[in-house]
Structure formats: C-alpha cells, structure tokens
Amino acid sequence: MGRLFVYGSAVVSVVLLSLIYIVVSGNGTASPSASPLPSGSAAASSSGGAVGTPGVPVGTIEIAAHESPSLGFDPATVDVTAAGWYTVNFTNHGALPHDLTFADGTKIPADPGQSDSAVVYIPEGGTTFLCSVPGHADAGMTGTVTVNGAGGDSHGGPAPSADVQPDLNAPDYTLYPAEAPPLMTGTVHDVTLTIEEKLMTVYKGTEGGYVQAVWTFNGTVPGPVLRVKVGDTINVHLVNPATSLLSHSIDFHASQVAWNDEMTSIAPGEEKLYSFVAEYAGVWMYHCGTKPALHHIANGMYGMVIVEPAEGLPQVDKEFAIVQSEWYLGPQGEPASLSKASVGNPAPDFVVWNGVANQYADHPLQTATGDRVRVFVLNAGPNIDSSFHVVGTIFSSVIKEGVHLSVGNEGNFGSQAVDLSPAQGAIIEFVMPEDGLYPMVTHAFNFVGRGALGLFQAGDGDPLN
C-alpha cells in the first residue's frame, strides 16, 4: 500500500504516509538495499528538492538507540541540508532489540550492540522515525528528520524525554560501600564534614555513563553514615573550602536546634560548628539546607545518621545502610537539573541506592545463607516516595519512624514493603533462607528500571547447588 504513494508533494505525502504507517510498518521494506519507493519514480524528481539519482545516497545519517535513562534515539532530531537519498546507519547501544523505522515503512532492525544500514529517501518536508517494537515508541523512541530545519511532522509521537545523552567516555563509577559502619565509641563525637564540589559518575552502562558536577559532604554521595546512640553529643565541624563555588550548610534531622542558628549557610572559605545531643533513636536524614535546598539535596548533599537506643540494638549477622535518592540529570559535567526536580510531577532520570544507579545489581551485597540481616534505610528524596522491598523475603522486624513491628509479636505479623516518604527512615530485618539472589527494589516499579535495583546474594547465589 505504501508503494502507491509518491513524493510529488512531500509534506502531504509524509503526512499521508504517516497516517498509514501502522498499516505498512509490519511489512515495510526491510532490506537495506531496497528502496521503499517505486523504482524510478518520476514523481520523485518533481518535488523540487535536490533529489539526486534515485537510490544513490547524497549523504549519511547516523542514529543510535539507547535505553538509559529511558528509551530513545540519539539524536532524536536530525537536520539535513537537502532532500534526497541518504545512507542511514543505525546502531543499537541498548540491551534489547530495536529498529529504526521511517514513516515510509523502511525498517532497519538491530540486535543489542549491532548496527545495520539502509538507504532512505528524505523528502523536502522531512520525515519521522520510531522504533516499531511494541511500546518502544510510546516510551520515547521517536524522532524527526528535517530539511534545513523544516518539516518533520509529529505523527511519530512525542519527542524522547531523554534530554541528556550517555557518554561512552564517562569514567567508571566508584562503588559506595553498603556495609553499615560500627557504632562510634565514647559519648562525645567530633566529626569533620568537608564540603567537596566534584565530578561524579552516577550511572555507567554499556551505552555510556552520566557524569554530574555534584556537591558532597566528604566527597561522597550520600555523605558518610554517622552512627551514635541516644544521649551522645555530636560536634560537627562543617568546612566549606575556599575552592568551593557556593555557600552550603547542614541540617541534622536527629537534632533539635534553631534553624537560624546551627543551620545557617557558610561561604567558601568559612567553617562552623554544629553541636547537638542525639535524644531520639532512629534513622535520620542530614542535608544541606542552603537555598534552593531542593537543588542542594538533588545534587548530592544528604546522608544518614543512625541513632541507636542507649542500650543498643540486638546483635545481627550483617548490617547495611541504604539511602534512596533521585537524580534529575543536568547536562553532562554540570549539576543536576533544578528545573526538572522542581516540577509538580517530577520524573527523575534515576532513582538510586547510595548515589549510583544499579551499583548493587552490578556488585551484589554478600551474606551467608540464613544470616539475620539488618538494613538501615533512608529515603533522601528529594521528591519521590519509596516502597522498600526485598524480593523473596519478609521483614520480621521494622522500626519505621519510631513505630516498631517486632519479632514474635502476637499473631506473628510481618511486613512486605516499607513506605518511606522523603526524609523518612526505617530499620528492617529479614533472613534469606536459601542460597540465591534476593533483589532489593522500590516496589514503585516504574523506578526499578531507572536504577532502583540491587541484589542481596545469599551464599554462592545459586539455589541449585
């Protein structure tokens, strides 16, 4: 059916072709060497553009498919200087099969890591393309080709949401240790937190990585985990080096102090002392509160304080500390996007455990089978709720924001997921009864594919041996 159309009136034709796209996409011309147009179509030369010889390319277009931070094409918008035939090289940087299907039905499929090409006619009015794998266009795999900035009807769907492209040269990320630190000894603790503004890889995969100019406490996102007990005094020396670009501050949720005293901002080159007594047990957030606080939190300035009861917590076999947070990617090498973090329906590019997307899927957290495992969990946000769940386990003990589900309670109740709004924390315990892998997710499942996936590995991870 698509072959009945010619390009005499390119704009109209493209629209018409787009309208019949769904019909032709299933059997569109797939052969890289074949033209989707009738061979020698006379109408092709009447378009008035620089058509050239039918089937003989006047240029090359490179388009790649990516899957992170969401499905899309790179670039999603291509501009050429003249209508005509082009060699289109399509590379699939993802882990799923994709194709590049033009509005005229030309389809270039590519398996993960593979490339293929076809010769495609770009009419004066431009054209559109998408991935015809079900759901992929809706997820953002659409794009346009314009001729001198003109055309490219939008029938292919909305532009991809991925506004930052992965960088194949991004350095590997630094694994953040998930093991909870031991209780600090003594009852008065002097802690120095030095602000460091630095580049950090927040995700690295086969399709490349994302580097952001983050703001940190002591050089890591999250900042260090501080572990004390009820009654302890914490003297935090906050240092903002002269080399910083911005003023910063700190706000400990484990403290009760005046906002306009301890929490005031200090300029580059300044220091201040923030002293408090840990009066209440729990998993507490600390963060920079300098305006706009949303940006300082979204760009990495948060961490966890564990306050144990004065008598301590019961002994367990393994302890981890996990902070959930979001990345709203700014351009490569720049800070996180405040405008993306500020909208009323925020859509983070990544939701992560301890600062880096998928790092504990790449590097599973090891335990012995049958270990009693305790996880201190904090949702640092800044915006998205967590539903913390470990697949294959039941939480037998949960202390969430002071509310305790205890082991051996009357009726033997358990917990499957712990809901944590931004700035809420919990202490959970569970046992992995057999060798194997137990994924850690937020059961808000739209975010699992955006970095909120980790693995606990019990024993050798293999239930079959």
Q: Are 108 and 72 in contact (CB under 8 A)?
A: no
- Closer to Cu ion by CB, 246 or 347: give it: 246
Helix (H/G/I), strand (E/B), else coil: 58: coil
Q: Report DSSP state, residue 337.
A: -
- The CB-of-295 to Cu ion minimum distance in angstroms stands at 8
Query: Which H or E element spans position 22?
Result: helix 21-25
Rounded least distance, CB 250 to Cu ion, Å: 8
**Contact at 8 Å (CB) between 417 and 397?**
no
Of 290 and 332, which has the nearer Cβ to Cu ion? 290
Closest CB to Cu ion: residue number: 288
CB 350 within 8 A of CB 357: yes
Number of neighbouring beta carbons within 10 Å of residue 191: 16
Nearer to Cu ion, 299 or 396 (CB): 299
Least spacing, CB of residue 199 vs Cu ion, in Å: 16
Chain centroid, CA 427 distance in Å = 25
Pairing relationship of beta strands 188-205 and 233-239 according to DSSP bridges: parallel
Other residues' Cβ atoms within 10 Å of the Cβ of residue 411: 5
User: Which residues ranging from 255 to 294 are in contact with Cu ion (CB under 5 A)?
Assistant: 288, 290
CB count, 10 Å around CB of 181?
Answer: 14
Q: What values do phi and psi take at 65, rounded to 5?
A: -100, 140
Q: Other C-beta atoms within 10 Å of 261: how many?
A: 9
Q: Which is nearer to Cu ion, 204 or 248 (CB)?
A: 248
Question: Taking contact as CB under 5 A, which single stretch among the options 28-36, 230-238, 248-256, 447-455 is the one that binds Cu ion?
Answer: 248-256
Say which DSSP state 308 is in.
E
Q: How far is the CB of 341 from Cu ion (least distance, A)?
A: 14
Closest contact distance (angstroms) between CB of 431 and Cu ion is 39
Is-cis flag, bond preceding 182, omega within 30?
Answer: no
Least distance in angstroms from the C-beta of 233 to Cu ion: 24
Contact region with Cu ion (CB under 5 A), list: 58-66, 89-97, 300-308, 381-389 = 300-308
103 binds Cu ion (CB under 5 A): no
Q: Is residue 398 part of the contact set for Cu ion (CB under 5 A)?
A: no
Residue 296 binds to Cu ion (criterion: CB under 5 A): yes
- Find the binder of Cu ion among 131, 301, 377, 405 (CB under 5 A): 301
Helices (runs of H) and strands (runs of E) counted in the chain: 5, 28
- Which residue's CB is nearer to Cu ion, number 278 or number 288? 288
Q: Which is nearer to Cu ion, 288 or 341 (CB)?
A: 288
Residues 152 to 211: which contact Cu ion by CB under 5 A? none
Question: In whole angstroms, how close is the CB of 189 to Cu ion at the nearest point?
Answer: 22
Q: Does residue 248 touch Cu ion according to CB under 5 A?
A: yes
Whichever of 248 and 374 has its CB closer to Cu ion, that residue is 248
Rounded Cα gap, residues 384 and 338, in angstroms: 15
Query: Does 98 sit near Cu ion (CB under 5 A)?
Result: no
Minimum gap (Å) between residue 10 Cβ and Cu ion: 53
Task: Give 453's strand partners.
Answer: 441
For the bound state, the minimum distance from the C-beta of residue 195 to Cu ion, rounded and expressed in Å, comes to 7
CA atoms within 13 A of residue 450's CA, in its CB half-sphere: 23
- The identity of residue 62, as a single letter, is E
Structure tokens at 321: 């500390």
Count residues near Cu ion (CB under 5 A): 5
Looking at the Cβ atoms of 229 and 296, the one nearer to Cu ion is 296
CA distance 189 to 279: 14
Contact predicate 405/415, CB 8 Å: yes
Distance (Å, rounded) from C-alpha 144 to C-alpha 132? Answer: 15
Looking only at residues 76 through 95 of this chain, which bind Cu ion when binding is defined by CB under 5 A? none
By beta-carbon proximity to Cu ion, the closer residue of 337 and 396 is 337
Residue closer to Cu ion, measured from CB, 238 or 301: 301
CB of 420 to Cu ion, least distance (A): 23
Determine the Cα–Cα distance for residues 178 and 187; give it in Å rounded to an integer. Answer: 25
Contacts to Cu ion by CB under 5 A:
248, 288, 290, 296, 301
